[in-house]
Amino acid sequence: MAVIFSGCSNTSQSDAQEQPLQRYASVTGLKPEKLEYYKQLHAAAWPAVLKKIKACNIENYSIYLKEIKGEYFLFSYFEYRGNNFKSDMAKMAADPETQRWWKETDPCQLPLDDAKAEGKIWSDMEEVFHTD
């Protein structure tokens, strides 16, 4: 669930009363032997981690699992309502509870080559369609 990535944001102006919404979607691999542990962790995510996600202006955050041609992949989707994504992500990365959580989740994941090359877990995806 390490969400340190850049770019790939899309802005919607549908709600004028709040910060403009930016959608982020990304993908990573999941080690088959870690499948059950990853699901178990996320079925009861730590309250401190969830609280930090919210404090960092991330909302409507889902992670999906799919086996594709014998390999497991995780897809994440969330919405960001802050005004400085980079700074909020730095805040999240500096949180000791989140660091402790990532120590559990990172070893479950198999980053794709493009993410690996940048020392990241998740690869950004390109939005090709959106309708409110």
Applying CB under 8 A, the residues found at the interface with its own copies are 1, 10, 23, 25, 27, 38-39, 42-43, 45, 50, 53-54, 59-66, 68-69, 73-75, 77, 112, 123, 125-132
CB of residue 19 to its own copies, shortest distance in Å: 16
Nearer residue to its own copies within complex by CB, 4 or 22:
22
**Which residues make Cβ contacts (< 8 Å) with residue 5, sequence separation at least 6?**
24, 26, 89, 120, 122, 123, 124
Nearer residue to its own copies within complex by CB, 44 or 119:
44
| Cα diameter, the chain | 45
CB of residue 61 to its own copies, shortest distance in Å: 5
If we measure between CA atoms, which residue out of 75, 73, 79, 40 comes closest to residue 61? 79
Nearer residue to its own copies within complex by CB, 4 or 50:
50
Is the sign of the CA dihedral 68, 7, 4, 51 positive or negative?
Answer: negative
Residue 104, amino acid: E
Nearer residue to its own copies within complex by CB, 4 or 27:
27
If we measure between CA atoms, which residue out of 62, 3, 67 comes closest to residue 35? 67
